Amino acid sequence: MAALTPISRTPVSFYVPVVAAAGAFAGLLVGTAQENSLLGVILGAVLLGGLAFVMTQIVKAEKPARWALVVLLALAGFALGGIPAGIIGALFGWFFGWFSFWLYEGRYRAYIAPYLTPGQVLWHFTFRVICGAILVFLITPILVVMPLSFNAQNFFTFTPEMLRFDPAGYSLKHYRDFLTNDDWQNALANSVKIAPMATLLSVSFGTLAAIGLSQPHVPFRRAIMAILISPMIVPLIISAAGMYFFYSRIGLQGTYIGVVLAHAALGIPFVIITVTATLVGFDNSLTRAAANMGAGPITTFFRVQMPLILPGVISGGLFAFITSFDEVVVVLFVGSAGQKTLPWQMFTGLREQISPTILAVATILVIVSIALLTVVEMLRRRSERLRGMSPA
C-alpha cells in the first residue's frame, strides 16, 4: 500500500514548466485554428503555466480550482468560436486542472516503482505520450469522417450550421441515398456475395496449411510459409497486376470466381498467421492420445484439435472477411462491371462525382470493422483461457 501513497509535493520549478509545455501544445492547436500559431503557443504556455501556479500555490483547494478553470476556459472558448469551442475549452480546463494537481502532489509516481530514477520516470511517461499521440494521429481521420456523414449539405467540410450544433445542419440524407440508390445497393450485394465465399476458401486452405506447417517433419517449412504469406508482404498493386495477367490467360479475368479466388489468396496469410499462433500452445499429446484410442485423423481433427484452435480460426476468418470486404485494388484489375464491390463504388464516387454518400458508407464500414475487431479480441481472450495462459 505504501507504493500507492502520493509522494511529497513536487517543486514549482518542475511542474509549472511541464504544465506550460503542455499548454504550449494546446495553444498551438488553438492558435492554428485562429491562424496565429506562434501567438497561440506563447499565450498557451504563459496562461496555463501561470494558472497552474495560482491553483496549486494560492488557491490550493483542488476541486474549486479545477471547476474554476473549466468555467474560465469554457467561456474563453465560447468567446472565440461559439459552442463547439466552448466545449473544447471546458475539456481543456478539466484536463489541465487535473494535470496540474497530478504533478504538484506527486501522484504521477504513485503507481510506478519507487526505485526508478528521474530519467526512467521521464521515459515512462514520455513513451505513453508518444503512443497516445500516434493513436490520436491514427483515429483522427475516422473522428472527422463520422460526423461529416451527417452533413445536411453536399459538402466534405463542416458547415457553419454544424459548427453551431444547429439541428438544421445535420441530416440522414446520405444514409438514405446509400439505402435507396441502385448503384450502391448493387455494389453492396456484390460485396456480400464475394466476401463470404472468399472467407470460406481462406479459412479452409489457411487452416489446413497452418496445421501442416506446424508439423516438425514437414520439409522446407520456412520457405513454404514465406511463399504463403507473401500476398501480405508484396505491394498490392504488384499482386493485382500479376493476377490480372494470369487470370486473363486462363479465362478467369472479369468473372465472379476470379474475384473470389483473388480475395481468398489475400486472406489466406491472415488465417495462417492467426491459426499458427494458436497452435503454438497446442498440446500434441492430445492428438496422439486420440489416435491411441482408435480415432482416425478426421475424427481427431474435428473432435480434439478443432475445438481448441477454433478461436484462432474464427479470428483469421474475420480478418480475411475484412480484407475481402474492404479491398479495391485487386478487384479493379481482375473484376468487371458486374463485380463492382462497395470499395470500388466508393473509389468511383471519389473519382467521378465526389458523392458525400461515401462518408456514410465509410462510417458504416468503420462500425462493422470495430464490431468484428471486438469479436476478435473476445476470441483471443477465450483462446488464452482455453490454453491456460490467463485466469478464467
Kindly tell me if the per-residue pLDDT of 57 is higher than 80.
Answer: yes
- 376 and 272 in a common domain: yes
165 lies in some domain: no
Q: Which of 89, 115, 141 is the last residue of a domain?
A: 115
pLDDT number for residue 294: 78
H-type alpha helices, 255-339: 256-279, 285-292, 297-300, 306-326, 329-334
Kindly tell me if the per-residue pLDDT of 102 is higher than 50.
Answer: yes
75 lies in some domain: yes
Average pLDDT, the chain: 84
Q: How far is CA 120 from CA 99, 112, 114, 117, 126, in A?
A: 20, 10, 11, 5, 10
* Angstrom distance (rounded) from CA 79 to CA 86: 8
Angle between helices 62-104 and 37-53 (to 10 degrees): 100
- 360 and 220 in a common domain: yes
Kindly tell me if the per-residue pLDDT of 392 is higher than 90.
Answer: no
pLDDT number for residue 166: 76
What is the pLDDT averaged over residues 258-273?
92
* Angstrom distance (rounded) from CA 125 to CA 59: 27
Domain count, the chain: 2
**Across 62-66, 272-276, 335-339, least confident range:** 335-339
- 377 and 279 in a common domain: yes
Q: How far is CA 162 from CA 149, 156, 174, in A?
A: 11, 12, 15
Kindly tell me if the per-residue pLDDT of 56 is higher than 70.
Answer: yes
- 201 and 323 in a common domain: yes
3-state secondary structure of 170: strand
Q: Which three cell numbers, joined as nine digits, stand for 127?
A: 513513451
Determine the structural domain holding residue 72 and report its residue range: 2-115
pLDDT number for residue 216: 78
Categorize the per-residue pLDDT at 290 as very low, low, confident or very high, splitting at 50, 70 and 90: confident
- 242 and 351 in a common domain: yes
Amino acid at 54: V
124 lies in some domain: no
Q: Output the domain CATH number for residue 346.
A: 1.10.3720.10
Amino acid at 188: L
Q: Which of 115, 137, 161 is the last residue of a domain?
A: 115
Residue 81 CB contacts under 8 Å (≥ 6 apart), including other chains: 33, 163
3-state secondary structure of 289: helix
137 lies in some domain: no
Kindly tell me if the per-residue pLDDT of 7 is higher than 70.
Answer: no
- pTM of structure: 0.71
Q: What is the pLDDT of residues 135-146, one digit of tens each?
A: 888 888 888 888
| Percent residues over pLDDT 90 in the chain | 17
Kindly tell me if the per-residue pLDDT of 221 is higher than 80.
Answer: yes
Contact 66, 98 (CB under 8 A): yes
158 lies in some domain: no
Kindly tell me if the per-residue pLDDT of 105 is higher than 80.
Answer: yes
* Angstrom distance (rounded) from CA 186 to CA 341: 8
3-state secondary structure of 333: helix
For CA atoms 68, 71, 75, 80, the dihedral sign is: positive
Higher pLDDT, 381 or 333: 333
- 79 and 190 in a common domain: no
Q: What is the pLDDT of residues 165-220, one digit of tens each?
A: 778 888 888 899 888 888 889 999 999 999 999 999 999 999 989 888 888 788 88
What is the pLDDT averaged over residues 269-285?
82
